[in-house]
Each structure stands twice: as structure tokens, then as C-alpha cells.
Structure 1
């Protein structure tokens, strides 16, 4: 008759015994983080549903820009704006990027209002799996809203004669808008925790909004600008989002080595512009980490 022989306690692998519990605990924390993030994101979308004026205004304004600026320069000589067939086609990329930029720049306002009305303090004392879900939910909400607005602008630009890139091109536009919105959203959320109130945050938004627009290639090519402004526009992250999208509208045979911008210090390729946007987003995310740890812990 056989019997089971139990090894001595010293021979039992206690790490294997404890690992299922550790894995279960990690999975539970991850599930709670996802649940918290989804709940907080849903709250922001409910607010948007009850007050859709922000989303509507964020769509109507750029569409008006496309119509009015396109009509203003419709009689411009051919070739004045590079390879674009019309100024509406040239302007389309700038309006797409600036719409996403404007929405992401306002990302810190909901967090700031939660701070001032005391809702953020209630979240900080709640038994959350991770308080970073507060920031993550705001980022998901703003990036989703920016992508939605960009999609509407792409459709409006196509209706106004700017054309429409192919499916791959639309995917690249989504990637560009995502990278830009991610970096700007991170900076805006950092300002929401660093500044004392919404008045200061709104002041920063107003001060940086239009200057960054005019100091980019959204409204005019680099060749139209004086030398000093060419340098500023070549340092502006918006230009590195605008030029790849503009290239997609004017070239069907693009690739990562295609030259999209002639900066004062050299040529910028399609892939190089994407790397600049990726670096901008990573730097923005890393730069706000100490501030978020201090504010959320």
C-alpha cells in the first residue's frame, strides 16, 4: 500500500506556495485601478454630456477658421503655399493640430475646479488603489475628446476641398494627435497641481495659446517667416505635428525618410518629426512625476 511522503519543512519551496497569493494580490490591485480609472473617466464624460458647450465650441471654432481663412486666401497664386492645391488644404493640418492642442491645454481645468470645490480632497482621502487613477482618467478623457474633435475637423476639411489621406495616413494622423495631446495634457495637469487657482491656469492658457499658434507653421510656411521666427517655429512642437500631417495631404507616396520640413539647421524627416513628438511626450510625462507624487501622496 503506497502512501504520500511529505518532505521536511526545510525542503518545502515556500516561494512557490506564496506566489499564487502574490499574483492574486497584484491582479486585484490592477483590477481596482482599472475600475477606478473607468469610473472617474465616466464621471468626466457625464459632465461633458450635461454641458456639451465645450465640445461644440471646440469643433465650431476650427471649422470657422477653415471656412474663413480658406475663403480669404482662395485667390492666392498656385504654389504660394508649397505643394498644397489650395490654402484650405494647407490650413487643414494646422487646424487639426491646433484643435487638439487647445483641448489638451485645457486638460488641467477640470482638476483645478475639483481642487477648488473640494471634490479632489474627497478622492484623496478615499481608499483608492492608486491616486494616480485621478490623473489617468483626466488624460484619457482629454485625449479621447481631442481625437474626436480632430476626426470632425478631418471630415470638415475633406468637405471643403482639402482631400482625405488613405487609411494608413489617417492612422498616422491619429498617432500624431495622440502624441501631441499626451504631452500637452501632461503639462496642463502638472500646472493644475502647481498653480494656486484656476485664474492663474487660465492666464497661462491665454498667454501660451495664440503665441504658439503664430510661432508655428499652422498659418504660413517657414519660408514666409523672418529668420528669427523660423528658428522659433522650428523649436515649436506644434510644427513637428503639423508638417507630417500636411505632407500626408500633399503626398500619397510618403515614407519615414520623406523630408517634411526645412529647419534653419537642417532637414526634418517624417520619422524625425515623429521622434520629436515622442520625445516631447516622454519629457512632459517625466517632468510632472515629482509634482504628482508630492500632490497625490
Structure 2
């Protein structure tokens, strides 16, 4: 005879299996949309490539001692372009959900007999995370072809962890906007306004030592900076988590400190957005 505890375990296993099945089905739908209209993937790669190639060529003859560590500008810029690619992709994560809202498909999902409506959000997170990592990896390959280097195994692991934390945080924010804003016009406007200012107010294009005081503070508080600097360290070769990679106005920040900020940002945005998602999906 099955005990009450074994029945409960069986029910949890069935619920987990159904949640996985629902999530995979919804994720597959998003990838099918991408295959039918690959412009999202192409645009997400072409724009950063233009930044990498054009800016790299523009500053190709810059003095070697111009940047920290006497690195060339192409390698310096590469980390910023990788982060900008992942950030832009994650910032657009809420657009498919917004379009589903406007076209009525989301209402159909909400009345469907889903085991858990969380699968709607989880599918969006899996989709945009995979897409952002693919785009970033293509940028890394291009940077290597252009002679800007390739990180080692531990460097790749550091890059992966950094990008996952950033993408998770920004995706949570984007999904929150998808349910909070009235329509896709408002969301696209916010994305358009936020993209370039956050890029320029970071260390993507120039070291923090080059900036005026007011911009130094903005860059030192910008989440993109905390993702760019660990990736830049990953390209430098040997590194340690206690290595200082950012001299901010408020003090020195190590790789571990940057990762801690990204973890705090991801957890904080998730906890902030979760009540909104629960209210809209239930």
C-alpha cells in the first residue's frame, strides 16, 4: 500500500514533470518564432559587430600605454560589446510577452489547464538566456578572428557566470515591464532610451580614469560596469577572485565584489518583480 508520504512524493514528481513539459513546449514555441523570423537574432549580432569592427578600427592606432595594462583598444572594447549584446537581448525579453498580451494569446494561456502558470515566465527566461548567450558567443568568436584574443577555460566560466547573472537580472526587469506598461510602444520607447545612455555611462568604451567626476560616479554605479570588468579580466589570462579590477570613487572593487553586486541585483529584481508576476498570472 502507498503511504500518504509516498503519494505526496508521486504527486510532486508528476507536477514537476508536467511543469517541465509545459515549459519546454512554450520555449519551443518561442524558438519556432525565431526560426520563422530570424531578424531578432541577426539584428542582435550585427549591431554589436558594427560597434566592435568600427570602433576597433577607429582606435586601432591608439598608443599602447593609453589603456590600463597596455592592452589594445580592440581587446578592451570586446568585453563591453559582449556585455552590451547580452544586455540588449535581455532588455527585449518582455517584448514577446507584451505582444502575446496585445494579440490575446496570453489570455488563452491563462485560461488553459496549465499545471503552473510560472512556466510562461520560465520559458521566456530560458529563451532569452539562450538567445543572449548565442549572440554573445558569436561576438566572442568574431573578436577572436579579429585578433582580440580568446579567454581560457576558467575565463570562459567567469564570462558565463557573469553573463547569466546580468541576463537573469535584466530579463526579470523586462518581464516586469511587459506586464506593467500599457503597450509595446511604451516598452520599445523605454528600451530605446535606456540602451545607449547605459552603454556610454559604463566602462565599455573608455576606462573609468578617463571620465569626468560626475560620469565616473555614474559608471561606478552602472550594473553594466560590474559585468564588463570581470569579463575584461577573464581575457587578461590568469586572474583571481580577489583581484582588483575597478578603482571607483568609493573604493577598489575586486572580481568577487562585482559578482556579488550582480547576484544582489538579480535577486533584488526577482523579489521586486515576483509579486507583480504572481498578481498578473493568477
TM-score by length of 1: 0.93
Q: Distance in 1 between matches of 2:65 and 2:184?
A: 45
> 264, 271, 279: which one pairs with 1:286?
271
Correspondence list, 1:6-17, <5 A:
17=3
Q: Distance in 1 between matches of 2:3 and 2:23?
A: 32
> 244, 247, 250: which one pairs with 1:259?
244
Provide the aligned length of Structure 1 versus Structure 2. 282
Question: Against the structure 1 CA distance between its residues 84 and 40, is the aligned structure 2 distance closer, same or farther, given a 3 Å change threshold?
Answer: farther
Q: Which residue of 2 aligns with 1:184?
A: 170
Please state if 1:243 is matched with 2:199: no
Q: Distance in 2 between matches of 1:92 and 1:84?
A: 15
Q: Which residue of 1 aligns with 2:185?
A: 199
Q: Distance in 2 between matches of 1:84 and 1:199?
A: 44
Once the two structures are superposed, what CA deviation does each residue of 1:49-105 show, in whole Å capped at 9, x if it has no partner?
A: 000111011111111111100110011111212125311000000000000000000
Once the two structures are superposed, what CA deviation does each residue of 1:174-231 show, in whole Å capped at 9, x if it has no partner?
A: 1111110000000000000000100110111011111100110000010111111111
Correspondence list, 1:138-157, <5 A:
138-157=124-143
Q: Distance in 2 between matches of 1:17 and 1:29?
A: 18
Shift of 1:264: 0.3
Q: Distance in 2 between matches of 1:183 and 1:89?
A: 26
Q: Which residue of 2 aligns with 1:225?
A: 211
Please state if 1:97 is matched with 2:106: no
Correspondence list, 1:1-297, <5 A:
17-250=3-236, 252-297=237-282
Runs of 4+ residues deviating >6 angstroms? none
Q: Distance in 2 between matches of 1:22 and 1:75?
A: 67
Shift of 1:173: 0.5
Once the two structures are superposed, what CA deviation does each residue of 1:91-122 show, in whole Å capped at 9, x if it has no partner?
A: 00000000000000000000000000000000
Shift of 1:161: 1.4
Q: Distance in 2 between matches of 1:270 and 1:48?
A: 35
Counterpart of 1:79 in 2: which secondary structure?
helix
Is the 1:84–1:90 Cα contact (8 Å) retained in structure 2? no
Structure of greater Rg: 1
CA RMSD of aligned residues (A): 1.1
Q: Distance in 2 between matches of 1:84 and 1:279?
A: 32
Once the two structures are superposed, what CA deviation does each residue of 1:103-161 show, in whole Å capped at 9, x if it has no partner?
A: 00000000000000000000000011110110110000000000111111111111111
Q: Distance in 2 between matches of 1:161 and 1:120?
A: 46
Shift of 1:240: 0.3
Counterpart of 1:268 in 2: which secondary structure?
strand
